[in-house]
């Protein structure tokens, strides 16, 4: 079965069950199924359909209608410039994609140019089953989506919700926190959501007490797309002591691989859990993470050479560095491309950033490498502080010396009004690496 087939099955089994809510609009499974069938006549089998994504029920109708017709959905940024939309549309119209392809998802391009990743119907079902198994998606769940639906982080949550006949509550981002709490007030047995780490930090800073009032209703929260600071992990466990809190290893190319409930009494930093039933993790001799299983992409559209460089024998070879512990759980150490060589010592900037994030008054930070006449490279920590406070460099350096080996303590410090991140909460390392700092 394809995901759209589960949608129609839900329409037969639970016709009046609410499938999705957005703004003041609500739609049942029966109504959604009907609208999908009606719109599917607009598309053709094998057609690759680029369209601008939106946080709306209409997005769901379009997405499922393309699949219903046997086409390939290619959701793009909602605010993509018209000329760029035209360029991608022209490229995709001439593209030949493998049979069984469901989606083409464009990556953010934080580590290079944006790439079109081909996802099969088989992959979608495997991702859904991994999430159902690993996080406990159920029929009576209200799942709140606030991230853009053209990227795997939020789009992938549509998969298990549809398979289980649960309910989606779609928000237009998290700028209006009142709307998020209004979603939590919706009458449902239990609620869950997906947040990037930056959103978790924002909630803890400005609405921690308010979030704690929903401790009995929030079944689980998943975090992904970027490392979550250990200090934020501990705080979230304190605010939501009964809630399952997941760190997940996933990407557009690999699909949903593993997840770890860090509200387990141990709260292990960097732990991403055991691979789920449709996935397997192998650590290469170089210490890099490689993934196999049914959740992998089919390849990059129109780029067989790039595909062959990362996908070999049904195995994706990533540039992430990690290790498996004695219980088979993945522990992420960083990205090979991010590692900074300081006088022969290799430093993962994420380790420095994680240590710094627990410094009192520090709101955000990024660790970068800058040229140094003796060591070749030196560590520089750029920080954003709360409430326009002034940076005390010596206090921060002393604090970090108590948490890190000496060679990992930055030599240079700089205060910034804001740390640049991508839409999904990742530190924009490409931006900083391109600056002559």
Q: Which residue among 333, 366, 381 closes a domain?
A: 333
For 289-340, the three-class secondary structure string (H helix, E strand, C coil) is EEEEECCCCCEECCCHHHHHHHEECCEEEEEEEEEECCCCCEEEEEEHHHCE
In the prediction, which pLDDT does 176 show?
Answer: 93
- pLDDT of 436 reads 47
- Cβ atoms < 10 Å from Cβ of 343: 11
What CATH number did the domain enclosing 46 receive? 3.40.50.12780
Residue from 159, 165, 130 nearest 3 by CA: 159
CATH at 424: 3.30.300.30
Residues 166, 264 within the same domain: yes
Once rounded to an integer, what is the mean pLDDT over residues 407-433? 87
Q: Based on the domain organization, do 343 and 320 belong to the same domain?
A: no
- Distance, in Å, from the CA atom of 272 to the CA atom of 268, rounded to the nearest integer, reads 9
- Which pair of structure tokens corresponds to residue 210? 């308010």
Claim to verify: residue 263 and residue 171 sit in the same structural domain: yes
Mean pLDDT of the chain: 93
The pLDDT, as a whole number, for residue 113 is 65
- Position 143 scores a pLDDT of 98
**Whether residues 256 and 404 fall in one domain:** no
**Mean pLDDT in residue range 89-108:** 92
Q: How confident is the model at residue 424 (pLDDT cuts 50, 70, 90)?
A: low
Shared domain check, 75 and 95: yes
Q: Domain of residue 125: give its range.
A: 3-333
Residue 190 half-sphere exposure toward CB, CA atoms < 13 A = 16
Among 333, 350, 381, residue at a domain's last position: 333
343-385 pLDDT, tens digit per residue, is 878 888 988 998 999 999 999 999 999 988 887 889 999 999 9
Residue 95, φ and ψ in degrees, nearest 5: -85, 145
Q: Are 419 and 406 in contact (CB under 8 A)?
A: no
pLDDT tens profile 266-294: 999 889 999 999 999 999 999 999 999 99
The pLDDT of residue 335: 79
Q: In percent, how much of the chain has pLDDT > 70? A: 97
Same domain, 262 and 401: no
Q: Indicate whether 100 and 217 sit together in one domain.
A: yes
Please give the Cα distance from 277 to 134 (Å, whole number).
9
The pLDDT value given to residue 304 = 95
Q: Verify that 315 and 356 share a domain, yes or no.
A: no
- Ramachandran bin of 23, using left for φ above 0, alpha for ψ from -120 to 50, beta for the remaining angles: left
Q: Is 109's pLDDT higher than 80?
A: no
Q: 156-189, pLDDT tens digit by residue? A: 999 999 999 999 999 998 989 999 999 999 999 9
**Are 18 and 151 members of one domain?**
yes
Using a pLDDT cut of 90, give the percent of the chain over it. Answer: 78
Domain count, the chain: 2
- pLDDT bucket at 133, cuts 50 / 70 / 90: very high
Same domain, 324 and 344: no
Angle at 45 between CA 40 and CA 50, to 5 degrees: 70
Residue 30 has pLDDT above 90, yes or no: yes
* pLDDT digit string, tens, across residues 49-71: 999 999 999 999 999 999 999 99
Residues 280 and 355 in one domain: no
Final residue of a domain: which of 333, 356, 384? 333
Same domain for 117 and 149: yes
pTM for the full predicted model: 0.86
């Amino acid at each position: 079965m394809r995901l759209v087939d589960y949608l129609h099955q839900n329409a037969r089994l639970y016709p009046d069950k609410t499938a999705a809510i957005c703004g003041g609009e609500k739609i049942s499974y029966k109504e959604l199924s009907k609208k999908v069938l009606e719109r599917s006549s607009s598309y053709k089998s094998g057609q690759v359909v680029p369209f601008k994504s939106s946080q709306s029920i209409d997005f769901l109708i379009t997405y499922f209608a393309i699949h219903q017709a046997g086409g390939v959905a290619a959701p793009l940024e909602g605010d993509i410039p018209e000329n760029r939309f035209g360029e991608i549309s022209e490229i995709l119209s001439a593209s030949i994609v493998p049979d069984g392809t469901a989606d083409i998802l464009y990556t953010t391009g934080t580590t290079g140019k944006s790439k079109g990743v081909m996802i099969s119907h088989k992959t979608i079902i495997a991702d859904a089953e991994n999430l159902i198994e690993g996080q406990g998606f159920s029929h009576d769940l209200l799942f709140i989506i606030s991230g853009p639906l053209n990227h795997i982080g939020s789009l992938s949550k549509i998969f298990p919700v549809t398979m289980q006949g649960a309910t989606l509550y779609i928000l237009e981002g998290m700028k209006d926190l009142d709307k998020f709490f209004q979603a939590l007030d919706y009458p449902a047995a239990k609620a869950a959501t997906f947040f990037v780490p930056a959103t978790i930090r924002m909630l803890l800073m400005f609405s921690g007490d308010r979030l704690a009032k929903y401790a009995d209703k929030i079944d689980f929260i998943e975090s992904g797309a970027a490392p979550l600071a250990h200090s934020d992990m501990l705080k979230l466990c304190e605010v939501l002591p009964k809630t399952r809190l997941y760190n997940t290893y996933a990407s557009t190319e690999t699909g949903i691989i593993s997840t770890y409930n860090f509200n387990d009494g141990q709260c292990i930093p960097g732990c991403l859990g055991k691979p789920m039933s449709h996935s397997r993790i192998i650590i290469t001799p170089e210490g890099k993470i490689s993934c196999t299983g049914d959740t992998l992409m089919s390849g990059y559209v129109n780029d067989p050479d790039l595909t062959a460089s990362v996908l070999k024998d049904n195995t994706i070879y990533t540039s992430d560095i990690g290790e498996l512990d004695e219980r088979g759980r993945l522990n992420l150490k960083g990205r090979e491309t991010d590692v900074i060589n300081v006088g022969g010592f290799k430093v993962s900037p994420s380790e420095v950033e994680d240590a710094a994030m627990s410094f009192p008054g520090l709101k955000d930070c990024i660790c970068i490498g800058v040229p140094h006449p003796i060591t070749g490279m030196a560590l520089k920590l750029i920080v954003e502080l709360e409430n326009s406070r002034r940076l005390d460099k010596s206090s921060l350096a002393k604090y970090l010396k108590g948490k890190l080996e000496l060679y990992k303590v930055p030599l240079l410090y700089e205060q910034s009004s804001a740390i640049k991140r991508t839409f999904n909460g990742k530190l924009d390392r490409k931006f900083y690496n391109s600056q002559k700092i």
